Every structure is written in structure tokens, then in C-alpha cells.
């Protein structure tokens, strides 16, 4: 009850702050200044999204199958070690990752994509792996006892029951990805980082915010879209977002 009330106050408080910021931005002519960058913002948002879509998409395409493979019994002896290797991707600071990637692929979008891919792979693999492993043993026994082939068991029982956890991993990964993509500017990738870093460099606050605010909005939007996707994709029977109490 109390937590709910607190959350509502917080929500209204946030709305009020945003509104006040808007008023201030308008009054001080700040908004006008930011709008000067409209063309750049539109172009960069698209580029930013491309960067995220390609690196994030590749991370999903590699991460989910990798998680599935590692969760198979015959790879159980290498799984944890493989996970440790992937862990490096998150332990090493993203900036260092991008630098390493640049030394490998030079300057441009490709090293940015590789760097972001490595940085966001782990949550996807980790969640796919643990999600599949946490499917209760008795469900798998029931499935194989009824005569399902391993492939049928994976598609009909294991993946649907792990999907919520897998989606949560993808959500985390893409949130990291969208938030990190501005750094790609530093190694020649095209993203909203261009406005942010240039804005900082030339001490132009409006320019910086013209990059920072859309970045934040993008992160929120991506998160929302993935949340909605989770709501729709994960079966009602195992979806905490759509739970009706048992009776």
C-alpha cells in the first residue's frame, strides 16, 4: 500500500519536474537553441538506432543460440567456463572494449558494432542459459516420458518456459546497448554521441542536451517496446505480467 502510494508521488513529482524543465527551457530560449539541431537530431537518432539494431540484433542472434547450446547437457562441463569468458565482456569497461575493437577494425561503424555486440552479449547468453536450466526437471521428465524428441522438448517446453527470463536478458542488453552507443562516436561510429561529445567539447549546453535527451528517450522507448513484446510473446500461463490468482 505504502510503496504504491510512494510510487504514485514519485511519478507525479517526476511529471512536475519535467514540466518545470519544459517551462524553463521555453522561457530561457534554451528550447529554441536546441531546436536548431533538429535536423542533426533526426539524422543521428536514425543512425543511433541502426547501430543499436545491428549490434543488438547480432547479439540476440548469437547470444540466444549460444545460451541454448551451453544449456544442453553435453556442454555442461564447458558452460560455466564459457560464461566466465563472456563475463569479461561486461567486466572490461565499455570504453576499453571500444578502444580494443578499434585497434582491431580501425575507425568507423564496424568496430563500434563489434564493441557494442561484445558488451551486450553476456546478459543475453546468461539469461538464456539460466532460464533454460531453471525449467523444472520434472517438466523435462514429463516431456521426455511422453515421447517428445529433444528438439520438440526445446521448442514446446523449455523455450516457452524460459522465454520470460530470456526476454528480460534481451531487455537489459538493449538498454545497455542504447545507453552505450553514444560512446561509439569516440571511435568513429555515428550516433547521438556526436552531439553530446561535441557539445561538451565546445561547451555548448544546448547541443549536448540535444544529444542527451533523445538518447534517454530512446532508451526508455526501447525498454517499453521490449516490455510490450514480453507481454505479448510470453505465454499467459508463465507470464508474471499477466498473472491471474489461482483459485
Partner 1 sequence: MIRLDNLTKIFDTPDGTITAADHISMEVPAGEICVLLGPSGCGKTTTLKMINRIIPATSGRVFIDGQDTTAMDTVDLRRNIGYVIQQIGLFPNMTIEENISVVPRLLGWQPERYKARAKELLDMVALDPATFLKRYPNELSGGQQQRVGVIRALAADPPVMLMDEPFGAIDPINREVIQDEFLKMQAELNKTIMFVSHDIDEAVKMGDKIAIFRTGKLEQYASPDDILAHPASDFIAGFVGSDRTLKRLQLVTAAQVMGPVPTFVTPQQSLSEALAIMERFEHRSITLANERREPIGIITRDIAWNHQGLCGEHYEGLHGIARQSDDLRTVVAQMFTADSSWLPVVDASGRLVGDITQRGITHHLGATYRAKG
Interaction of residue 110 with partner 1, rule CB under 8 A:
no
Residue among 50, 152, 200, 204 that touches partner 1 (CB under 8 A): 152
Distance of closest approach, residue 121 Cβ to partner 1, in angstroms? 26
C-alpha cell at 188: 568513429
One-letter-per-residue 3-state SS of 122-163: HHHHHHHHHHHHCCCHHHHHHHHHCCCCHHHHHHHHHHHHHH
Interaction of residue 8 with partner 1, rule CB under 8 A:
no
Distance of closest approach, residue 145 Cβ to partner 1, in angstroms? 4
Residue among 4, 73, 77, 145 that touches partner 1 (CB under 8 A): 145
Distance of closest approach, residue 246 Cβ to partner 1, in angstroms? 6
Interaction of residue 236 with partner 1, rule CB under 8 A:
yes
Cβ contacts of residue 61 below 8 Å, gap of 6+? none
Q: Which is nearer to partner 1, 82 or 159 (CB)?
A: 159
**Do residues 41 and 187 lie in contact, with contact meaning Cβ atoms separated by under 8 Å?**
no
Q: Which is nearer to partner 1, 143 or 183 (CB)?
A: 143
- Local structure of residue 114 (DSSP, 8 states): H
Q: Calculate the alpha carbon distances from 85 to 73, 120, 121 in Å.
A: 19, 13, 11
Query: H-helix or E-strand containing 216?
Result: helix 205-233
Residue among 52, 127, 161, 190 that touches partner 1 (CB under 8 A): 161
**Binding positions for partner 1, rule: CB under 8 A:** 136, 138-139, 141-149, 152, 156-157, 160-161, 163, 235-238, 243-244, 246-247
Amino acid at each position: 500500500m505504502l510503496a504504491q502510494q510512494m510510487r504514485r508521488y514519485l511519478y507525479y513529482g517526476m511529471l512536475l519536474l519535467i514540466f518545470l524543465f519544459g517551462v524553463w527551457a521555453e522561457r530561457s530560449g534554451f528550447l529554441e537553441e536546441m531546436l536548431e539541431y533538429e535536423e542533426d537530431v533526426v539524422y543521428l537518432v536514425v543512425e543511433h538506432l541502426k547501430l543499436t539494431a545491428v549490434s543488438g540484433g547480432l547479439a540476440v542472434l548469437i547470444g540466444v543460440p549460444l545460451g541454448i547450446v551451453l544449456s544442453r547437457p553435453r556442454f555442461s562441463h564447458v558452460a560455466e567456463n564459457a560464461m566466465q569468458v563472456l563475463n569479461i565482456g561486461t567486466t572490461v569497461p565499455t570504453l576499453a572494449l571500444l578502444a580494443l575493437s578499434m585497434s582491431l577494425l580501425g575507425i568507423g561503424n564496424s568496430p563500434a558494432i563489434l564493441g557494442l555486440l561484445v558488451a551486450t552479449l553476456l546478459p543475453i547468453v546468461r539469461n538464456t542459459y539460466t532460464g533454460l536450466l531453471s525449467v523444472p526437471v520434472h517438466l523435462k521428465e514429463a516431456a521426455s516420458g511422453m515421447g517428445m524428441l529433444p528438439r520438440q522438448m526445446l521448442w514446446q517446453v523449455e523455450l516457452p518456459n524460459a522465454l520470460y527470463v530470456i526476454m528480460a536478458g534481451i531487455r537489459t542488453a538493449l538498454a545497455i546497448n542504447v545507453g552505450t552507443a553514444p560512446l561509439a562516436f569516440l571511435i568513429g561510429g555515428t550516433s547521438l554521441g556526436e552531439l553530446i561529445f561535441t557539445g561538451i567539447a565546445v561547451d555548448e549546453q544546448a547541443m549536448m542536451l540535444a544529444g542527451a535527451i533523445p538518447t534517454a528517450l530512446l532508451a526508455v522507448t526501447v525498454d517499453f517496446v521490449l516490455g510490450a513484446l514480453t507481454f505479448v510473446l510470453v505465454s499467459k500461463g508463465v507470464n508474471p505480467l499477466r498473472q491471474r490468482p489461482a483459485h
